[in-house]
Amino acid sequence: MRIQDIAFADLLHLEPHGPDTFVGPAAQYPWGPRLFGGQVVAQGLRAAAATVDGARPAHSLHAYFIRPGSHTEPIRYEVERLRDGRSFSTRQVVARQSAGAILNLSVSFHHPEDEADVQVAGLPDDLPAPDHPSLIDQGWGRLIDRRATPVDTGPSGYWIRLAADVGDDPVMQTCALAFMSDAAPSRAVRSPHPGLTGDTSDRGQFQGASLDHAVWFHRPFRAETWHWFSTTSHGLFGARGVVTGDVFSLEGVHVATMAQQMLLRRRRDA
């Protein structure tokens, strides 16, 4: 089904298929037959959370995208319970389709502790608000609202919010942020390439794909509200680029940190 025709709650609905095994729906996205990596990460996180005490929220995830997923068949999530300690639980999730594994995901869950809460990073002073006319509307589907800062103008990144009712379940909120986090890094990966001029037509000359992805969850948030996803490129080497970023609420609360490595390869037929 098309992403325009599915609600976020339905996208994250997983059917149990035996012990610690779940099956979730695939969706077709505007750019073609490949699945959106953020969807597979969010569903994998949902599967992992279903095997953990709800009092332990996820504090980090690390994912490897193994092969492109297809929107034409469901996705099977196999969860392995690696450890349940006094404070932490660790899960490994493998997402599979008929072609084989498409994602390997590790998730760590931590029982909240009453310790120091110190925020160091903050919103840029010159950051335009989400409704500022200088921002570029780059939303897609019915789930993602996204506003980009102009290239080479001010801070680099996106204002992003989920254009859907997520509800009050903390697990669903965390899955929603994981979903959105894969909608932020690609422009920063491409930005330093000498063969790109900033015109959208340049993208046809290159093959791009997410290779691995990590998110650290710091503080509570509401995915339906605007969040600033900062993005910083760390250069390109061997057809790979690395981006790191921080996620802030409208009020400037630092809610998460992310990192992604992407493939950026000139098409051989270009």
Start-to-end CA distance of the chain, whole Å, equals 31
Distance CA 182, CA 203 (A): 18
Among 26, 2, 182, smallest CA distance to 98 is for 26
CA atoms in the 13 A half-sphere facing the CB of 267: 9
For residue 233, give both structure tokens.
């490129």
CATH topology of domain 3-111+130-266: Porin (2.40.160)
- Mean pLDDT along residues 145-151: 87
Q: Does 109 have pLDDT greater than 90?
A: yes
Kindly tell me the burial class for residue 5, based on how many C-beta atoms sit within 10 Å of its own C-beta (0-12, 13-18, 19 or more): exposed
Could you read off the pLDDT of 220-234 as tens digits, one per residue?
Answer: 999 999 999 999 989
**207 or 244, which is more confident?**
244
Q: Does 40 have pLDDT greater than 60?
A: yes
Q: What is the pLDDT of residue 44?
A: 98
Q: What is the pLDDT of residue 198?
A: 60
- Mean pLDDT along residues 28-39: 84
Angle at 158 between CA 152 and CA 162, to 5 degrees: 165
Which residue do the tokens 């034409």 mark? Answer: 72
Going from N- to C-terminal start, the domains of the chain cover 3-111+130-266
Integer-rounded Cα Rg, in Å, for the chain is 18
Phi and psi angles of residue 132, each rounded to the nearest 5 degrees, phi first = -70, 135
Q: Does 104 have pLDDT greater than 90?
A: yes
| Beta bridge mates, 103 | 65, 95
Among 78, 21, 88, smallest CA distance to 52 is for 88
- Mean pLDDT along residues 53-59: 92
Q: Does 270 have pLDDT greater than 80?
A: no
Which residue do the tokens 């095997």 mark? Answer: 51
Distance CA 143, CA 156 (A): 22
For residue 171, give both structure tokens.
């697990």
CA atoms in the 13 A half-sphere facing the CB of 195: 14
Q: What is the pTM of this model?
A: 0.93
* Res. 164 pLDDT band, cuts 50 70 90: confident
- Strand, coil or helix: what is 140? strand
Which residue do the tokens 């899960």 mark? Answer: 91
Phi and psi angles of residue 44, each rounded to the nearest 5 degrees, phi first = -65, -40
